[in-house]
Structure 1
C-alpha cells in the first residue's frame, strides 16, 4: 500500500502545508509550539524540511538572501543534524546546521538528514499501518462492548421500574 501514487495529491498538499505553516513560522514569536513540534518530528523521523533540507530557505532565519546577515543564513535547524550532540552527550550543538544549504550534496549527506519529513512520515505510517489498524479495531470493539453493556443496564433498570410499578399497583 502506498500513499505516494501519481493520482494522489496528498503528499504535495502536505508538503505545502508544512512549508507554509511549520517552516515559515519556525522560531517566530508566539509559535514556540510550532518550533518544538517541527524539531520533534525532524529528530524522531530523521528528516529535514517538508520535502528536503532546501525547504528551510523559506524561513527568514535560514534564508539564503543576501540581506540575511545571520550566521544561520543558508542553514537548517539543529534538529536536522545527524549528530546534534557531537560536542558532548549532554550538550546540543545548535550550530551544526549552519551554512548547510551552501555545501555539496556529499557534504550535506554527512551532516544532516536529507529525507523530507513528508516522505518519512508516509513511510512511518506505511510501516506501522497494521498497528494503527489493530489499535482502531481494539477501540471500536471496546466501544461496542460499552454500548452493549449500557443497553443491558438500561433494559435491567426498565425491568426493575416495571416490577416496582406492578408491586405498587397491588397495594
Structure 2
C-alpha cells in the first residue's frame, strides 16, 4: 500500500491536498487512517489552539497516532454530521528541503454546505514539511481558529 501512497507525497501541493481530502467523509464512512499516518513524520505533532477552563487560549499537542485514536472513532461513528475541509488560500515558502505552508481552510458539516459555501468554521494551519527519503513529510502542523478576536488577513485568502 505504501507504493500507492507515495504518489501523494512527491510535491508539497500533493501532500497538502491529500491531507485535506483524507479526513473528509460522511458519518459512519471509514477513513484511510493508514494513509493519514503516512502523510506525517513518525515524530510529528499536531498542535491546535483551544480555550482552557479559564477561557485562555492554549496549545494542545497531539501526535497523528493519538489524533486517530481520539478523533478517528468520533469522525466515523459518533459524529452526527459529515466532516469536510477545503483549502481556500495558501502562502508557501520553500528553501532546499524544507517548506512552510500557511494554509487557510474551511470546515463543513455536509457536501451541501460545501456546495453552498456555508462553513461552520475557518482555521489557519501552519504546516512545516521536510523532504527526505524521496518524499515530503508533514513534520508539524499547528492551527488556530479564525474569529472576531483573530480576524483573517486578506492576504491569507490568496495562493502565493
Kindly indicate which of the two structures has a greater share of residues assigned to strand.
2
Greater gyration radius: 1
Pair in the same fold by TM > 0.5: no
TM-score by length of 2: 0.25
